[in-house]
């Protein structure tokens, strides 16, 4: 069993929909990271959090330490949000990613 599990593996949405991607982990963590991998392959860091909630634009990340669970939400999704979203913990143990496609 992977130490970091993401769901769903694939997600399709219509533009404007509210998106939720989930991440569960089984190890103790100092920090949890959400990353975005563009269709061209580049990886950027979206959030790093160890408690509570963070918001950046239309993206919201939450973490529940007791339940060892984090969620990434995208409000008012847009086709440019189409990417693979990756959850990672510590230094760094990665989930396998969630492939999101948003259609106009």
Applying CB under 8 A, the residues found at the interface with other proteins are 2, 4, 29-31, 33, 35, 41-45, 48, 50, 86, 88, 90-97
Minimum distance between the CB of residue 9 and other proteins, rounded to whole angstroms?
9
Angle made by CA atoms 23, 70, 8, in degrees to the nearest 5: 30
61 vs 77, beta carbon nearer other proteins = 61
Say if CB 22 and CB 6 are below 8 A apart. Answer: yes
For the chain, what percentages of helix, strand and coil (3-state, to nearest 5) are there? 5, 60, 40
Q: Which residues contact 78 (CB under 8 A, 6 or more apart)?
A: 15, 58, 102
Spatial separation of the C-alpha atoms in residues 59 and 45, rounded to whole Å: 12
CB nearer to other proteins: pick between 32 and 102: 32
Nearer CB in complex with other proteins: 44/57: 44
CB of 90 to other proteins, least distance (A): 5
Nearest approach in angstroms of CB 14 to other proteins is: 27
Q: Which is nearer to other proteins, 30 or 66 (CB)?
A: 30
Instruction: Output the smallest distance, CB 65 to other proteins, in A.
Output: 14
């Amino acid at each position: 069993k992977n130490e970091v599990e993401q769901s769903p593996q694939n997600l399709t949405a219509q533009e404007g929909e509210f998106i939720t991607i989930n991440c569960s982990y089984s190890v103790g963590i100092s920090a949890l990271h959400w990353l975005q991998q563009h269709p061209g392959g580049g990886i950027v860091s979206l959030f790093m959090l160890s408690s509570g909630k963070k918001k950046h634009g239309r993206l919201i990340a939450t973490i529940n330490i007791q339940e060892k669970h984090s969620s990434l939400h995208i409000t008012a999704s847009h086709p440019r949000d189409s990417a693979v979203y990756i959850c990672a913990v510590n230094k760094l143990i990665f989930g396998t990613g969630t492939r999101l496609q948003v259609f106009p």
